[in-house]
A and B are shown apart, each in its own frame.
Chain A
Amino acid sequence: MKRILALCCVALFASQSMPAQARGGVDLPPVNNDLYGKECGSCHFAYQPALLPSASWQKIIGSLNNHFGDNASLSAPDTAAILKYATENAAEKAGTPRASKIASSVSGAAPARITEVPYIVRKHRELSPGAFKNNKDVKSFSNCKACHTRAAEGFYDEGEVKIPGNKNWEND
């Protein structure tokens, strides 16, 4: 009995001193659908469905022939499959604290882009536009993984951000 108690204490102590990520707490569930990962990651970072509410995914995946100026069309069965995956794993359904914050910040609206989600805009407000557009290693605010070093695995913590280039990118 005493030994079990001691082991439990050690385990509890050990888990408390580990950073949140090591405890298995992703910010946003990583992509785990092969078709989605392959098709939606062929030209850009495969954005996790939890980055947007399902109403936004309906809009975006429903207009792939004009996808932000490009033709990203897929066959009807493939389109249906990725729509299903995206809407079933969207912000309001993903279940992580960060996804819930995204969902509640849109207040029922359906942003056309991830970079228009109020929560995401707020989180980046201290950065000057030059951190993105005029930074050749980042190019655009949509390029999450240029700075969020573990974005592909679902981690977006500020502590892991590394903005390429040496300049001071903060708004003064």
Chain B
Amino acid sequence: MLTRRSLRFASAMLVASAALTIHVPAQAGAVEDLLSQYKSLGVTAFDAEAAKRQWTTESKDPESGEMRSCSKCHTDNLRQTGKHATTGKLIDPLSPAAKPDRLTDVKQIEKWFRRNCTWVLNRECTPQEKGNFLLFIKSQ
């Protein structure tokens, strides 16, 4: 029976469920999805400390002879604003603590891994390396 009381109850439920869906964080989803993907490719454990070391390790670009590393653009403090090595454009902090939309979009994450690993290492990062980096960035 459609009473005022039942209507009030129904609308309260609607508001509550809407609030619940709005508050689900996308962040947990993207990283988790990618980590499971890497596990299915054979990775058994991820290591944020290894990623931290790799972050500042320099590699020589065969074409230009330039020494490159992740920290060259992103600095070694992921809560800081970085700077593009060629254009000088400022890069927002990578840490989700400093910029909440970081690590929330699988397409974005994979695109930047593809481009930036190629820039530093002259090859794509392995699933192990990518997983390590994700845990490392998330912890900063």
Let me know if B89 and A43 touch, CB within 8 A: yes
Q: Which positions 112-158 of chain A face chain B at CB distance < 8 Å? A: 139-140, 142-143
Residues of A within 8 A of B87 (CB): 43-45, 139-140, 142-143
Residues of A within 8 A of B86 (CB): 43, 69-70
CA A72 to CA B118, docked complex, whole Å: 11
CA A73 to CA B88, docked complex, whole Å: 20
Q: Could you give, for residues 81-92 of chain B, a 1 whenever the CB lies within 8 Å of some chain A CB and a 0 otherwise?
A: 000101111000
Let me know if A44 and B115 touch, CB within 8 A: no
Q: For residue B112, which residue of chain A has the nearest CB? A: A42
CA A114 to CA B6, docked complex, whole Å: 66
| A171 interface hit (Cβ, 8 Å) | no
Q: Could you give, for residues 36-47 of chain A, a 1 whenever the CB lies within 8 Å of some chain B CB and a 0 otherwise?
A: 000000011100
Residues of A within 8 A of B55 (CB): none
Let me know if B64 and A71 touch, CB within 8 A: no
Q: For residue B63, which residue of chain A has the nearest CB? A: A69
CA A74 to CA B114, docked complex, whole Å: 10
Residues of A within 8 A of B119 (CB): 70-71
Complex partner residue of B89 from A44, A70, A72, A73, CB under 8 angstroms: A44
CA A74 to CA B111, docked complex, whole Å: 8
Chain A's interface: helix, strand, loop or mixed, by majority? loop
Q: Could you give, for residues 21-44 of chain B, a 1 whenever the CB lies within 8 Å of some chain A CB and a 0 otherwise?
A: 000000000000000000000000
Let me know if A72 and B88 touch, CB within 8 A: no
CA A139 to CA B84, docked complex, whole Å: 12
Residues of B within 8 A of A72 (CB): 115
Q: Could you give, for residues 89-111 of chain A, a 1 whenever the CB lies within 8 Å of some chain B CB and a 0 otherwise?
A: 00000000000000000000000
CA A72 to CA B89, docked complex, whole Å: 15
Q: Could you give, for residues 79-112 of chain B, a 1 whenever the CB lies within 8 Å of some chain A CB and a 0 otherwise?
A: 0000010111100000000000000000100010
Q: For residue A44, which residue of chain B has the nearest CB? A: B87
Residues of A within 8 A of B88 (CB): 139-140, 143
CA A143 to CA B90, docked complex, whole Å: 13
Let me know if A73 and B114 touch, CB within 8 A: yes
Residues of A within 8 A of B89 (CB): 43-45
B residues engaging A (CB < 8 A)?
63-64, 84, 86-89, 107, 111, 114-115, 118-119
Q: A44-B84, A140-B88 are in contact. List 7 more A-B contacts (CB 8 A).
A: A43-B87, A69-B86, A71-B119, A73-B115, A139-B88, A143-B87, A143-B88
A-B contact pairs, 7 of them (CB 8 A): A43-B84, A44-B84, A44-B89, A71-B115, A71-B119, A73-B115, A143-B88
